[in-house]
Each structure stands twice: as C-alpha cells, then as structure tokens.
Amino acid sequence: MSDQINTRRRRLLGTTIAGIGLMDLGLSGLVHAQSSTAPSGAKPSTRLASFDTIRQVNAGALNMGYAEAGPQNGPVVILLHGWPYDIHSFAEVAPLLASAGYRVIVPYLRGYGSTRFLSADTPRNGQQAVVAVDIIALMDALKIDRAIFGGFDWGARTVNIIAALWPERCKAMVSVSGYLIGSQAANKAPLPPKAELTWWYQFYFATDRGYAGYEANRHDFNKLIWHTASPKWNFDDATFERSAEAFNNPDHVAVVIHNYRWRLGLVEGEAQYDELEKRLAMAPPISVPTITMEGDANGAAHPDPAAYAKKFTGKYAHRNISGGIGHNLPQEAPKAFADAIIDVARF
C-alpha cells in the first residue's frame, strides 16, 4: 500500500493546530518557537522551534542527553536523528505528537549534543548495533518497556535494528527510506558508478585526509551534506546553526568516522556486539507494524521502496511525500511524519 502526500501545503496549518493543542494541554513550555535573526544574505527565520530543556540520564556506556515533551502517562514515542543532524529534526514533530497525548523522547545519539561517554576508556564506536544498544539502555534507564519508534538516516537504521532484534520493545515503527540494516559483508559488493558517487564522503572518511578534513571543517562539511541531501529545502543559516552546535561534541568526529569505516570493513567493532552483528548480517525481517516514508527530492543514497517492502512481514504501508521533500524528512515535513507516527500506532 502506497500513499502520495503533498506536505508543503499542509505544514503551516499543522504547526498552527499543534500550537493550539499544546496550549490546551498546558504543554506549551516543552517545545517553543524562538525569534531569530539570520546572518546577512540568509532568509530570516521568525519562528524557529526548539526544545526548552535537555535532560541527562546515565544509560549503558553513556550519559545521554534527551528532550522530552508530552504527558508522562502518554504512550511513548522515541524519535532518532541521523548524520549530520540532531534532535531539532523533530522540533516541530514533538509538539504535534505531544498535543495528541504522546510522551515524546528525543535523544542525542552518541557523539552528538550533550551525550557523553561515561569512561574515557570506552571505544568511540559507531557500528550499527551499538547505537541500538544505546537506545535500549536509555529505555531501561527511563523505565520504558515499549515504545513507538521513528527515525531517519542513522535513526532509521537504529529503529529497524530494535524492531528486528527486540520486537518486544517496539510497538510500531516509522522508518524513512525503509529497511536500512546492513553488514560489512554486504558492503563489500561494489555499486554502479552513479551509486558509488553518492557515497563520496564515505570514501573520503576512509582516509587520514578525510579524518583530518572532517575534524577541521565539520561545520561547512555538514552544511554541504544538508544541501546535497535536501536540494529543494531552503533552510536558513539559523536553522543549520541550531543543529551545528551538536557537532561540537568532543566525540563526534571519532564516532562518525568509525561508523563509516566500520561499514566498509576497514575497522573492527567491539567483540561484545559480534553476535548481534551476525544476526543483523542475516537481514532479519521486521514483524512490527511499520510505515516507511520517502521524500520526492531525497538527494542522499536511498533504496527503492519496492526493494525492501517484503522485509516488513507485519502490517505495513509506504508513503511517498511530495513537495520537494529531501533526506531530513521529519524536519522538512513534520506534519506528514507526525501523522505517520499516530497512524502506525493504530495499525
């Protein structure tokens, strides 16, 4: 089942309705809109949604920073960002869900924002399994048994992994770009030249020059990725700068570089996650209720929905989002993403 949704026309109405709903629920302080002055030459951003409070909790190997919105007794939704983004990809999604009665948790992944490693001796590991283990640890720390998950990019891969390996913790899932579980073995196969070109940064990161270049230029590097991954998204400087603060995390570069080198088999992961990776290398099916989504202007590498539809063996639907929507779908089309979360919870 596939639905076509044009989001640009619906975004303003959806945001307005969410604001009214939050005031009715007494939740308006959890997510707020800030006035901002954009640098010269940039489009002004007069209503820049943000999170008022970042909370911290020890979870597994990390002290994790996270934002929270909505009633404490509401059904839990956990939203996961990707690279090079941060929790503000969900700054307009969270109030929409909170106004519908959901408790929304939006954590900084390892290497981003206020999330920190508890020990200097812990490897700055970015392999796919460990990011999912982090989120399970966060759920345990917050005493959350089950949640509805939503994510894109690294976040989509992580919610896929949780749904596949710990389905008892996942009530339902929304995944941008579908099924993203991979393996080092699968990544050894070369792609057609045009497809390889879209992964240029991965090959750059495989070199010492790439590590040094990302360390020195992460701000401009990530802004370039924003433009290429979402070529029709006219974000302003203030919007990017709000997220760019998360890249100043002292472990950001190490985690990002390890992630992409691990994918190519150039570095090892941690032995304690080997069994999980063996299970993931089998490309396990996902049985929990799922909605996958794709924007019509995603400039990043992404699979065709037909290629992964059969990986979802439970209740399933795919939604194509039109209107110039790129890779950062939750931020570019918050109403469509929030609607998908609410709908998949009813499957």
In order, the DSSP letters of 262-312 are HHTTSS---GGGHHHHHHHHT---B-S-EEEEEETT--S----HHHHGGGB
Distance between CA atoms of residues 227 and 256, nearest Å: 19
- Return the CATH number at 252: 3.40.50.1820
pTM (two decimals): 0.89
- Given a cut of 50, is residue 34 above it in pLDDT? no
What is the per-residue pLDDT for 31? 55
* pLDDT tens digits for range 199-236: 999 999 999 999 999 999 999 999 999 999 999 999 99
Instruction: Write out the two tokens for 128.
Output: 């796919």
Supply the pLDDT for residue 45: 41
Q: Give pLDDT, residue 2.
A: 57
Q: Is the sign of the CA dihedral 329, 331, 333, 337 positive or negative?
A: positive
Task: Assess whether the previous peptide bond of 44 is cis (omega < 30° from 0).
Answer: no
Question: What is the per-residue pLDDT for 18?
Answer: 43
What pLDDT, on the 0 to 100 scale, is given for residue 4?
A: 67
- In this predicted structure, the answer to whether residue 52 has a pLDDT above a threshold of 90 is no
* Count of structural domains, the chain: 1
| Mean pLDDT value across the chain | 90
Q: Quote the domain boundaries for residue 136.
A: 2-344
- Per-residue pLDDT tens over the stretch 297-327: 999 999 999 999 999 999 999 999 999 999 9
pLDDT digits (tens, 9 = 90+) for 154-176: 999 999 999 999 999 999 999 99
At 39 the pLDDT is 34
Give the pLDDT mean for 254-262: 98
Residue 49: per-residue pLDDT: 77
Question: Mean per-residue pLDDT for 273-291?
Answer: 98
Q: How many other C-beta atoms are found inside a 10 Å radius of the C-beta of residue 265?
A: 12
pLDDT of residue 229: 98
